[in-house]
Chains A and B, each alone.
Chain A
Amino acid sequence: MNEIGTASSSWAIEARGLTKLFGDHHALRGVDLRVSKGERLVIFGPNGAGKTTLLKILSTLAKPSAGSVWLDGIDIRNKPAQTRRHISLVSHQTFLYDDLTVYENLKFYGKMYDVPDLPQQIKTVISWVRLESRLHDRVSTLSRGLQQRASIARAVLHNPSILLLDEPEVGLDPHASTMLRDVLGNINSGNRTVMMTTHDLERGLELGDRVIILDRGRIVYQAHKHEIDTANFRRVYDQYTVID
């Protein structure tokens, strides 16, 4: 079922027939997706819908059981290492080393990504997430909200063209959550494609240009923001994610 085809590089992300099996559980069942460059796509869905699995496959952390993915036109099976330069993942795990300082963490990831002019770039991203005062503190001393901001700094350090966010607001108090939204606004300069999964219908609708609902491994709803009645979206969501 694996298609070896070509994709045009006009799409930032293209996925065809993505399927993922864990043992005997189908996490994803034939997902087709196309994301334009610079588009902001938001994915809603209940727990177990496959949102995290989808992002893991798109970020090359997991291999699909079937289907293909192209990032900026490159098939991730061909050049997995190279495609990873184009993407970045923010999840509720920070990927940061607790016993190292924020600066040391960024330096490490900067080296791994061959970031040019690293010290300057670190300064830049730190100013975006407004963590200048805590730059040389150990990550373990930061609150969860600040750690998440540091994680975002890590994510944009290498200037990825595609930013993937997996429920980034989880575990953040409302104040930190607002900060997060501001930070996402800050870093989104340029033509960065953003794909975010979230439970927060309101915030998601604020952020996204296009909305998808994923349920039990399938896309059950797709619409552009201007087509959506944001006030009543909750009803739409419930309608498409019927609970057994």
Chain B
Amino acid sequence: MNDKHVLRSNVLSGLGLVLMIAALYMVFIYVPTEKHTGVVQRIFYFHVSIAWVSFLAFFITFIFSILYLWKRTMRWDAIAHASAEAGIIFTTLVLITGPIWAKPVWGVWWTWDARLTTSLVLWLIYIAYLLVRAYATEPARGARFGAVIGIVGFIDVPIVFLVVNLWRTQHPTTIIFEGGLTTSMLLALLVSIAAFTTLYVLLVFQSACLKSMEADIKYLRSVQAE
């Protein structure tokens, strides 16, 4: 990591820390308690932010998968891979915070609604992506296979959402809020989204740098050994 990277990393960490503290403050202190569902509703801000990032992450994987197949720049593959690793963490958190919110509010751990179901399928596609890379016979092949899954999988996500959404319109919809969001709630949500997005960018950046360095070390070792 050169100086530019270190600087970028520090700036991101600092920004992320500030935003996260702000988000925590806003979610737990600033925003008033929602009248219908109570304190538990506060998890909504985190849940939505994390969900947003989980889809953003796969979109990034999608873009960089295409770029990698086009130009074969290892760095882009590293970003795609790192984004998928971050993405699955965030998706797992979505699948955990979802039930935590759902149980006290609706009395059920899980609803097969469009958003949660799509997140579950997204999680499974992430797993497929990571497994294909791990089980490929060589790393170069793994990168290419991953890129293919990244592209094919991402295209699938909106279709899955559409299908599940249609499916569920035959059943009574669960109402998220009566009334809309007040400005204070909207503000808290936006800050929360910004905080988690910054966290995501930092994670991807660090992870991608690490992967690039690992690849460089491998290459240097191979040249030296012979």
Contact = CB atoms under 8 A, between A and B. Distances in A.
A23 B142 CA distance: 11
A24 interface: yes
A23 B226 contact: no
B222 interface: yes
A226 interface: no
12 contacts: A21-B219, A21-B222, A23-B138, A23-B139, A23-B218, A24-B221, A24-B222, A25-B222, A26-B222, A26-B223, A26-B226, A217-B226
Contacts of A29: 226
B6 interface: no
B163 interface: no
A24 B218 contact: yes
Nearest to A218: B226
Interface of A: 21-26, 29, 216-217
Nearest to A24: B222
Contacts of A26: 222-223, 226
Interface of B: 138-140, 218-219, 221-223, 226
A216 B226 CA distance: 9
A217 B222 CA distance: 13
Contacts of B139: 23
Contacts of A22: 138, 140
A119 to B, nearest CB: 40
A24 B226 CA distance: 11
A192 to B, nearest CB: 34
Nearest to B220: A24
B70 to A, nearest CB: 15
B140 A23 contact: yes
Contacts of B223: 26
A24 B138 contact: no
A165 B221 CA distance: 33
- Name the 7 nearest CB pairs between A and B, nearest first: A24-B222, A24-B218, A23-B139, A23-B138, A26-B226, A26-B222, A24-B221
Contacts of B219: 21, 24
A25 B218 CA distance: 9
Contacts of A23: 138-140, 218, 222
A23 B222 CA distance: 9
A217 B218 CA distance: 18
B177 to A, nearest CB: 53
B69 to A, nearest CB: 13
B36 to A, nearest CB: 57
Residue from A21, A24, A25, A216 whose CB has the most chain B CB atoms within 10 Å:
A24
Nearest to B222: A24
A27 to B, nearest CB: 11
Given A23-B139, A24-B221, 18 more contacts: A21-B219, A21-B222, A22-B138, A22-B140, A23-B138, A23-B140, A23-B218, A23-B222, A24-B218, A24-B219, A24-B222, A25-B222, A26-B222, A26-B223, A26-B226, A29-B226, A216-B226, A217-B226
A21 B223 CA distance: 10
Contacts of A216: 226
B200 to A, nearest CB: 30
A96 to B, nearest CB: 24
Nearest to A21: B222
Nearest to B215: A24
Nearest to B217: A24
B78 to A, nearest CB: 16
A26 B221 CA distance: 11
B14 to A, nearest CB: 36
Contacts of A217: 226
B135 to A, nearest CB: 15
Contacts of A25: 222
A22 B218 CA distance: 11
